[in-house]
Amino acid sequence: MQQWEVVEGSLASAQGFRAAAAATGIKKKQGSLDLALIVSDAPETKGAALFTTNLVAAAPVIFSRKNLAESHGRCRAILVNSGNANACTGRKGMQAARECARAAARLLGLEPAEVLLASTGVIGVPLEADLITSHLPDLVKELSAANAPAVARAIMTTDRIPKSCVLRSEWGGKPVHIAGVAKGAGMISPRMATMLSFLTTDARIGPQTLRQLLRAAVRDSFNRVTVDGDTSTNDTLAALASGVSGVRVSSGTRAAAWYLKGLAQLCRTLAVMIARDGEGAKKLVIIQVEGARKAADAERIARAIANSPLVKTAIAGSDPNWGRILCAAGYSGAAFNPGKVDIRINGLPVCRNGLDAGFDEASAREELDRNEITLRLDLHQGRASAQIWTCDLTHDYITINASYRT
C-alpha cells in the first residue's frame, strides 16, 4: 500500500473544495476572523459527522445532526463561526441556526439540508444571525483555494496557533488527499466525538462508510486528548468527501484499510496539536501506560493521570513528583499491583517497583523543562497499553478562564 505523506496545503488541497473566512464582529476584537465557509463543487459530495456526547448540545449540533439524517449524507457545505457557541440559547438559537443555513444554501444553490453548521465560543449568549447572513454574500464570492488557509484561523478561540494538516497518497495511480483543520484549547475532554474539526477529502466515500471510518479514526486520536476534563456542548468533527479523485473507498475493502491509515494519521496529528496548544499550556504531555492486564485498565490509568491537576501543576513546575502519578493511577479504578510499577520521565527512571528509583534531581528537572514530555508507566502485569495526550496546568489557564466571558 502507498504511504500517506504530509504535504503543504489547506482544506482546498482535496480536489473539489473551496473555502473562505471573514471578520463579522461576533468576536469583539475588531478584524478578527470569526466566520468560515467550506464548500464542495462536486454534486455527489457526501458528508458524515460525529458530535458531542454532552446532554446539553448547542443549536448547530442539534441542527446538523438532523440535517445529516434527513439528507442521507448529501452534504456540500460547512458554515462555522467562532466567538459564540450558540449553546443554551433555546428556540431563538435554533432559529438563528436555521436562518444562517438557509441564507448560505440560497447563495450556494443548495438545499438547507446540505449545509452543516458549527459554532464555538461563549455559551448562553444569543447569536445574532444578521452578523452572519449580512457577511455571507461577500464570503461566498471569496470562496477559493487561495483563501482556504484562513479557515484554520477563523475557527480559533483561545487557541494560540492555527491547526491544520494535509495528507497525500495514491491509489491505483490516482492522487488522493485528506485535509483537516481543528480548534481546541479549553473545554477539551475525551469522552466525546471531538472538539471542532473539519476534514475534506477527494476520495469517493458513502456517508455510512465515512462515518464508520471517522469513528475508528477518532478512537485513537481526538478521544485520546484531554486539556481540562470538561466536555464541550459544541464538539463536532465533520468530513466532506467530494469524490473528485475518482478513487472509491468502500467498507471492508483494502482501499478502506489504506484510507483509514491516512485518516487516523491526520486525526492524530490534529489531536496532538490540540493537546500541545491547551489553554495556558507550555508543554505537551504524553501519558503512555504499558504492561496492563486489560486495555481498559491502561486507559483508565492514563486518563486519571492526564486529568489530575496535581500531576499537571507538578509538570508545569518541572517537579518530578512521581508520587502524584502513582496516586492518580491508584484512584483510577483500574486493578494493578502498585509494588510492580515503574515510571520513567522521557526515559529517566524515577520510580521502580513502586518506590523511588534514586534518580538525579537535576536530570529529572532537565527532562521536565522540555516542551514535550512522555510519562511512561510500566505495570509489568500484562501486555495491554494505552496512550493519552494532555498538557501542563499553568497560571495562564487560570488567567484565561477567570474572565473568559468579559
Helix, strand, or coil (residue 56): coil
By the rule CB under 8 A, 307 interacts with its own copies: yes
Helix 322-330 with 295-307: angle, nearest 10 deg: 130
Q: Given the complex with its own copies, which of 244 and 285 has the nearer CB atom?
A: 285
Q: Which of 123, 140, 195, 272 binds its own copies (CB under 8 A)?
A: 123
**Counts for the chain of helices (H) and strands (E), in that order:** 12, 18
Alpha-carbon gap, residue 207 to 136, rounded angstroms: 27
Q: Given the complex with its own copies, which of 261 and 404 has the nearer CB atom?
A: 404
By the rule CB under 8 A, 393 interacts with its own copies: yes
Binding to its own copies (CB under 8 A) within 333-392 occurs at 334-336, 338-339, 351, 353-356
In our burial notation (b when 16+ CB lie closer than 10 A, e otherwise), range 13-33 reads bbbbbbbbbbbbbbbeeeebb
Residues forming beta bridges with residue 117, ordered by sequence position: 79
Binding mask 220-259 for its own copies (x = CB under 8 A): --------xxxxxx--------------------------
Q: How far is the CB of 334 from its own copies (least distance, A)?
A: 8
By the rule CB under 8 A, 327 interacts with its own copies: yes
Q: Given the complex with its own copies, which of 29 and 402 has the nearer CB atom?
A: 402
By the rule CB under 8 A, 401 interacts with its own copies: yes
Q: Given the complex with its own copies, which of 238 and 368 has the nearer CB atom?
A: 368
Residues forming beta bridges with residue 5, ordered by sequence position: 168
Q: Which of 122, 145, 295, 384 binds its own copies (CB under 8 A)?
A: 122
Alpha-carbon gap, residue 206 to 115, rounded angstroms: 17
Q: Which of 3, 251, 253, 399 binds its own copies (CB under 8 A)?
A: 399
Alpha-carbon gap, residue 227 to 278, rounded angstroms: 6
**Catalytic residue selected from 120, 158, 194, 269:** 194
Q: How far is the CB of 88 from its own copies (least distance, A)?
A: 5
Is residue 101 within 8 A of residue 66, CB to CB? The reply is no
Instruction: Select from 326, 285, 327, 292 the least CA-distant residue to 306.
Output: 285
Alpha-carbon gap, residue 351 to 201, rounded angstroms: 46
Instruction: Select from 62, 30, 35 the least CA-distant residue to 129.
Output: 35
- By CB under 8 A, how many residues form the interface with its own copies? 68
Q: Given the complex with its own copies, which of 142 and 319 has the nearer CB atom?
A: 319
Q: Which of 33, 50, 61, 87 binds its own copies (CB under 8 A)?
A: 87
Task: Candidates 29-37, 173-181, 256-264, 393-401: pick the segment binding its own copies (CB under 8 A).
Answer: 393-401
Q: Is 52 a catalytic residue?
A: no
Q: How far is the CB of 329 from its own copies (least distance, A)?
A: 7
Is residue 378 within 8 A of residue 290, CB to CB? The reply is yes
Q: Given the complex with its own copies, which of 30 and 403 has the nearer CB atom?
A: 403
Catalytic residues: 194
